């Protein structure tokens, strides 16, 4: 083990992680602070910060289900914001072709990744994502000498994303072991 810890920053695509937790990990109830700290401890990194990206739901006029979902998401986001060294960035949801689509999330995340690369702020970037939209930001990070880790479900991550990162960590039940919400 090293005598020192290099700094690492986590960037979590909330929608991606939520889908993996629901579909692959049977609705695993994740404690985001434990998860962030475990990743950095396993990689022998000091967690500088965790950035979490998501969207609040759209509230359709007089729709009680939307209002209930919004209240639940607002509470979740408030709780995340109060965790030590957590930042929450919110994009927007749009109804496109009858489906809700996130807008601005990937751009916000990519900008933050690139921003962290300059000035020697960190040595490692850890992405919890699966989208190839992050490839240009990863290239820039690597050009700046940053080690880029990807935490993902290999079956739901884009091949181009997995091809460009330095290290891949499989997001499975073993990986999240010990990161469950207390009492669940």
Q: Give a yes or no: residue 139 inside a domain.
A: yes
Q: Give a yes or no: residue 1 inside a domain.
A: no
**What ranges make up the beta strands (E) of the chain?**
6-13, 45-55, 86-96, 99-103, 124-128, 147-152, 167-170
Q: What is the pLDDT of residue 3?
A: 47
Q: Give a yes or no: residue 113 inside a domain.
A: yes
The number of distinct structural domains making up the chain is 1
Q: Give a yes or no: residue 181 inside a domain.
A: no
Give the residue numbers spanning the domain of 155.
Answer: 6-176
Beta-ladder partners of 10: 50, 126
Q: Give a yes or no: residue 183 inside a domain.
A: no
Q: What is the pLDDT of residues 160-184, one digit of tens each?
A: 999 999 999 999 999 999 999 985 5
4 pLDDT more than 70: no
Question: C-alpha 177: how far from its chain's center?
Answer: 17
The CATH number of whichever domain residue 21 belongs to comes to: 3.40.50.1010
Contact by Cβ (8 Å): 104, 76: no
Q: What is the pLDDT of residues 82-95, one digit of tens each?
A: 999 999 999 888 87
Q: What is the mean pLDDT of residues 123-147?
A: 95
Q: What is the pLDDT of residue 183?
A: 59
Q: Give a yes or no: residue 137 inside a domain.
A: yes
Q: What is the pLDDT of residues 37-92, one digit of tens each?
A: 999 999 999 999 999 999 887 777 877 887 788 888 889 999 999 999 999 999 88
């Amino acid at each position: 083990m090293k005598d020192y810890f290099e700094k690492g920053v986590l960037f979590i695509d909330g929608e991606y992680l939520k889908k993996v937790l629901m579909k692959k990990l049977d609705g695993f109830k994740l404690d985001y602070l434990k998860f962030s700290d475990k990743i950095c401890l396993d990689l022998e990194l000091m967690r500088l910060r965790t950035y979490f990206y998501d969207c609040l739901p759209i509230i359709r006029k007089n729709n009680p289900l939307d209002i209930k979902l919004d209240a639940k998401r607002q509470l979740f986001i408030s709780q995340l914001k109060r965790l030590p060294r957590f930042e929450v960035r919110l994009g927007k949801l749009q109804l496109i072709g009858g489906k809700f689509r996130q807008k601005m999330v990937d751009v916000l995340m990519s900008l933050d990744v690139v921003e962290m690369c300059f000035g020697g702020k960190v040595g490692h970037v850890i992405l919890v994502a699966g989208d190839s939209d992050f490839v240009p930001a990863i290239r820039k990070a690597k050009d700046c000498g940053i080690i880029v880790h990807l935490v993902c479900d290999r079956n739901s991550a884009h091949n181009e994303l997995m091809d460009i990162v330095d290290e891949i960590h499989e997001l499975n039940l073993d990986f999240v072991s010990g990161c469950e919400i207390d009492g669940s």
